Amino acid sequence: MPTARQIVHEFLERRGMTTIFGNPGSNELPFLAELPGSFRYVLGLHEGAVVGMADGYAQATGRPVLVNLHAAAGSGNAMGALTNAVYSRSPLVLTAGQQVRQAIGPEAMLANVEATQLMRPLVGWAGEPACAADVPRSLAQAVFEAELRRRPTYLSVPYDDWDAELGGNALVTLDRDVRRALTPAEADLAALATEVAEAANPVLVLGGDIDTAGLFTRAVALAEHLELPVWVAPSPFRLPFPNRHRLFRGVLPAGIGALSDRLAGHDLILVLGAPVFRYHQHVPGPYLPEGATLVQVTDDAEAAARAPMGRSLVADPGTVIEALLGRVAGRPTGQGPRFAPNEEPAPAPRDLHPEQVFAALREAQAPGTTYVVESTSTNAAWWRQADLREESSYFFPAAGGLGFGLPAAVGMAMGRPQRPVVAVIGDGSANYGITALWTAAHYRVPVTFVILRNGSYGALRWFGDLLGTPDVPGTDIPGLDFTRIAEGYGVPAATAADLPDLRARLKGPADGPRLIQVDTHLTTPE
């Protein structure tokens, strides 16, 4: 009879989940034994980097991915990175080895006590099979829960379960399949189409879920068909609309009052594929401008339930977009070019201004480049200079947790090798996921890492000014040299001496990982 391990390996292979990201310990070895040759095990040197790489891979492929963590200690190391995966709605399936069953109660070394509680409330589902015979079904549930909820799940498995021989009832798991459909009712579609058609000054607000669902070009079609100004919902983890398009108005600020001010004058605010809203800094004010109605369309029932204002329709945004395209008459098209030119880069009194760096990237990289950005103090400079016209062009830590950028870029490049990947990382952020450089070097992943070094947590300085608490300790980080760190991990690295040197180093595609350190002028996020 087949073992639990053999059944699970076959189930994963049938589901196309043959890439595993992990950092194993002793409890995980029995699961990894006899791994079929069709599988690829991607080793990371720290569980935070492992989850970050898997997050990037899942976002790049749009499919669930298996992550193998070590008991409670490894799971704990991964939790910071897990927060980003939760808010990017990445379908990660986290598995962790558990001690043998008879050793859990006495709390032997490496026993994961109350394993199902450890990762909550971050994960959408957590389980531990009640017996060895339930291992395949439990693993299948973890996969389906991740797909259906679009949220990470967690399964703890006692390591003596993997060698257990199982009967026919366990084999039926191999044929399991679960599908999801969220088609809105005809009455809801008709009412929304009428509301949009009759609005005097509607506006479209798009969220990262639009890009996740592959609706980037359809969102452009809808905006152009209805001639709607487009804002991106605050704190975007992906870009759902070309940022140089003539209808693009920018990224909404993450403060209640400031966001409301930006939308003043609109009577209908149609939000597709975003929560309403992911605020950050506390800026008091009304949720909505006077006279405005908000309608949210999302397939995330939790986001709809917790929204503080407006009406929510839990449905597939793609279905709604197609309904509006077919039911609402088009409006006259605006005049002028479809895309607006970039502004001239700002100069810097010393070093390089981030805008100069981003302009150089725009000029040197191929149009379809994927950018993983984790430099929060340079947001304003980024949006002034970036020119992103294709889907899956921009990724950002969805929960704001540092350490996403470096590992996610490695996962992105492994999941979508046909597109070049550039990681733009601040010097404060880079330290959190730095071990991902070893994985990039070991697997020769073609990523360009651009590290912006200003010797400070720039975003914290800005936030300190906002809160009226300037000059607090812990915001300066001098003395870092990422070229030496990168070379220690096996990644070729250099410091760009000036703008011509930076441009020269950016030329040509990367045939493996490379790191370019750039000393930049300290700026503010907005």
Q: Which residues are known catalytic residues?
A: 25-26, 28, 47, 70, 280, 400
DSSP assignment letter at 300: -
- Give, for 125, the enclosing helix (H) or strand (E): strand 125-127
Count of residues in the chain? 526
- Asked whether the CA dihedral 280, 285, 287, 289 is positive or negative, the reply is negative
Listed residue (418, 419, 438, 401) closest to 515, CA to CA:
438
| Residue 352 main-chain phi, psi, to 5 deg | -115, 145
Dist. CA 401–CA 429, nearest whole Å = 9
CB distance 451 to 372 below 8 Å: no
**DSSP per residue, 324-372:** HHHHS---PPPPS-SBPPPPPPPP-SSSB-HHHHHHHHHHHS-TT-EEE
Helix (H, G, I), strand (E, B) or coil at 309: coil
- Asked whether the CA dihedral 479, 481, 485, 487 is positive or negative, the reply is negative
Listed residue (423, 408, 428) closest to 475, CA to CA:
428
DSSP assignment letter at 408: H
CB distance 243 to 383 below 8 Å: yes
Helix (H, G, I), strand (E, B) or coil at 317: helix
Contacts for 199 with CB less than 8 Å, ≥ 6 apart: 267, 268
Dist. CA 219–CA 204, nearest whole Å = 9
